Structure 1
Amino acid sequence: MSHLPSAIRHLPSALARLQTIRKRRALAWGALAYAGIVFAGAFLGAEITLRSKTKWVKGVFVPIGRRGNDIFLPAGVETMSRGVVGIVPLLPNKGHAVLGPQRLAGTLVRRPVLQERGVLPNGALAWVSTFVYNGTPQQLGIDFEHTVVQTPVGEMPAWHVPPRKGDSDAIAIVIHGHGGQRAQALRMLPALMRSGVGSLFVTFRNAFGAPRVGKGYLGLGDVEAEDVLAALHWAREAGYRRAVLYGFSMGGNIALSVLREKFMPFPIPVTGVMLDCPALEWRDTIRWQAQRFGLPKLLARHVGRFTEYIVTRRSGQDFDVVDQLAAAPGFKVPILLWHGTRDRTIPIRQSDALAAARPDLVEYHRIEGGKHIRVWNIDPKGYDRALEAFIERVLPGVNRD
């Protein structure tokens, strides 16, 4: 080998060093790319967490066909959803209908009309949604009043639906979720009215239509609880003497946050809480959302941790304060809980954990096939029965309709 040129003799070691350099560079680029995904995902997650709000109730606009009592819709995620949907034709047509379970009819979806107000004409372009309603209680033919709840940070708009029997002393405070709308809970209003209570559909700071506070950042339940506490003061001034809280998604976290000792004694007693697909532990929810968008579990965990850091730095949010699973041992009032197995927004394991932690307080309805805050749609009559029975139990003596 000694007669070979020096360059040739040192070639294997040079190749080995080159491969080592390439591996190091590849690892460095890989680490940089990983960090970039974490940072980008966390900043996006923090922005959604802090600022999410929607002007319109979620739904789709589609042309409709009508034959007698049957409505025909193009097949899609919303129109093929399990259970009932609502439909509203666009102007100049006026009307609203609740449609029953779907059946495929060739390339179309066929649904029967269960309830109808106004006119739902053949050929109209219409809004279709699993939230069923997109207006005010007037869309159901129910009288109500626009009002405001006075809070330390401004006037929060609300709808007040008085009880049908004027001597009722009980009210349900209805709290929408993160980026949500009051209209999303109109599906349950008939059951609330039959139960004999008044209803106050509230909103909270930095939600759509409510006052902007500070930089406009949403909290995750704790600061919004102050606005719901103000709603209890409103209820007392309006003549009510007892209340239940009824929260959807983040609204469920708000309702449970109101129960903290710092807010006691309440202006009027809170005798029960109803929760529909509640967000009970935000760290878990953020990780779940990261995985939902395709990130591997380890990467989702890192994105979640950095999202928590950014949210805390921007808004001062303490995630421990809104951890309702950790707070569960301190709850003292009965809880009615619904959650759907197809919830892609809040993992159902959170409600499973709450029900397991407090079986003495929690009446749990685990709805097979239910989507996020759409479990009512799967079995409206069963949902309403549970709601009315719970109110009768925690508000004894209320005059039912």
Structure 2
Amino acid sequence: MSCGPEADFAPSCVPSITSSGQRAVLLTDDGVRIEAARTPRVPLQQAPFAPSPGPPSAPVGDLALVLAHGFTGSLDRPALRRTAAALSQHADVITFSFRGHGGSGGRSTVGDREVHDLTAAIRWARSLGHRRIVTVGFSMGGSVVLRQAALHGRRGPDGGRGEHGERTGACPDAVVAVSAPARWYYRGTASMRRLHWAVTRPTGRLVSRVGLRTRIHPEQWDPVPLSPTEAVPLIAPTPLLLVHGDRDPYFPVDHPRMLMAAADPATTALWLERGFGHAENAAGPELLRRIGAWAVARAGTGVPPPPAP
């Protein structure tokens, strides 16, 4: 898909890159305004209940987890707020709404230009003082974190460095993809056939806009973006964790196995979770605890990940 003029900004958007307290509006490289928020780290012993964003003076930690939600999600959806609260027991958490979702501007390209949105969130996290960044993506967001790491990592077009050789702020230090597809245009499940109807049909896009607050771009991809399977070999030596459930109603387990087969086994781990469904809506506290622990252990280390539990 290609993006046309930004004629449908969300009312909450403000010009340029501005922030107020724990909320911000980010301007992407292609000119879309994206809403974002920071949840400071609140260790478990201090947070028996889900933490709310702290005051502007809350200290910035060395590590930040940047969460990329699934299709029809947003930073204010209960599932992502619950996920952010659980992961904030391990590190500061950055959440944002992809284009066409929630209070962000533009229209969704269902994983194509969303790479720009994630990159803007990573750069914002760096500007706040976070030196280590782990991207954690769910479903559509899982495909986005894989492609973003491939494009901006050390094997990407600029080798993760700017024109003068300095490390760019867009290169993540570790990547987690939860419930991510391996290939595009998959229609092998009833859930994916419904999603394709919502994306490709005018009536489906109207239902998505009115009922799900998700505005979808009507144009098809041109060119077709790098697929997740093509992206994962380019991520190494950045540590990569693939998480998938054996009860995923969207993508069966051949998807994570394809991703693992294409990835570098020295720096990649695959967790096939028994009884786990799909993305942030199904991720429970124990799984999120293990993902947070993996992120803390692997960010910036460059060492091989542990085997699947």
Alignment TM-score, normalising by the size of structure 2: 0.65
Tell me how far 1:268 sits from its aligned partner: 5.2
1:331-375 C-alpha deviation (Å, 9 max, x unpaired): 211112211111112232111211233232322211122111255
**Contact preservation (8 Å) 2:179, 2:251:** yes
Structure 1: distance between partners of 2:272 and 2:255? 12
Q: Which residue of 2 aligns with 1:241?
A: 131
Which amino acid in the other structure matches residue 88 of structure 2?
M
Residue aligning to 1:205: 99
Establish whether residue 222 from structure 1 lines up as the match of residue 112 from structure 2: yes
Partner of 1:276: 178
The number of equivalent residue pairs is 232
Cα separation, 1, equivalents of 2:223 and 2:292: 30
Q: Structure 1 residues 390, 235: closer, same or farther in 2, change over 3 A?
A: closer
Q: 1:366 aligns with which of 240, 263, 272?
A: 272
Residue 170 (structure 1) aligned with residue 63 (structure 2): yes
What's the C-alpha RMSD, in Å, of the aligned pairs? 3.1
Q: Which runs of 5+ in 1 are unaligned?
A: 1-45, 47-143, 294-299, 308-312, 397-401
Q: CA deviation at 1:237?
A: 2.0
Which one-letter code corresponds to 1:324 in the other structure? P
Separation (CA, whole Å) in 2 of partners of 1:187 and 1:314: 31
Q: Quick one: structure 1 residues 205 and 383, their matched pair in 2 at CA, closer, same or farther if it must change by over 3 Å?
A: closer
Q: Does the 8 A contact of 2:132 with 2:172 survive in 1?
A: yes
| Partner Cα distance (1:389, 1:202) in 2 | 22
Deviation at 1:292, TM superposition (A): 6.3
User: How far is 1:167 from its partner?
Assistant: 5.4
Query: What is the identity, as a one-letter code, of the residue corresponding to 1:185?
Result: L
Larger radius of gyration: 1
Higher RCO structure (Cα 8 Å, ≥6 apart)? 2
Distance 1:348 1:360 in 2: 21
Distance 1:314 1:168 in 2: 41
Whole-angstrom distance in 1 between the partners of 2:133 and 2:278: 25
Matched, 1:250 2:140: yes
Return the offset for 1:247: 0.5
Larger displacement relative to structure 2 (357-366 or 331-340): 357-366
Bigger proportion of residues as helix: 1
Provide TM-score, normalisation by structure 1.
0.51
- CA contact 1:280–1:322 (8 Å) conserved in 2: no
Quote the offset at 1:236 in angstroms: 2.3
Is the Cα–Cα contact under 8 Å of residues 241 and 268 in structure 1 kept in the other structure? no
Matches within 5 A, 1:19-98: none
Q: CA deviation at 1:330?
A: 1.7
- Could you say which residue in structure 2 is the equivalent of 1:323? 227
CA-to-aligned-CA distance 1:199-247 (integer Å, 9 cap, x gap): 11011211232113xxx3x223231101111112212221222211110
Per the alignment, in what secondary structure is the counterpart of residue 290 of structure 2? helix
The structure in which a higher percent of residues are strand is: 1
Could you say what secondary structure the match of 2:283 adopts?
helix
- SS of the residue corresponding to residue 144 of structure 2 reads helix
Equivalent residue number for residue 336 of structure 1: 241
Partners of 2:124 and 2:192 lie apart in 1 by: 41
Q: CA separation in 2, counterparts of 1:375 and 1:175?
A: 15
Letter aligned with residue 178 of structure 1: F
Where 1:279 maps in the other structure, the secondary structure is: coil
What do residues 39-59 of structure 1 show as CA deviations (whole Å, max 9, x unaligned)? xxxxxxx9xxxxxxxxxxxxx
Displacement of 1:181 after TM fit? 2.7
Instruction: Check conservation: 1:192, 1:388, Cα contact below 8 A.
Output: no
Find the aligned partners of 1:145 and 1:339 in 2 and give their Cα distance.
31
Query: Counterpart of 1:343 in structure 2: which amino acid?
Result: D
1:365 to 1:187, Cα distance in 2 relative to 1, 3 A: farther
Structure 1 residues 187 and 355: alpha-carbon distance in aligned structure 2, compared to 1, 3 A threshold: farther
8 Å Cα contact 1:242/1:271 also seen in 2: yes
Residues 290-320 of structure 1: CA deviation (Å, up to 9, x unaligned): 8867xxxxxx9xx9xx99xxxxx95241474
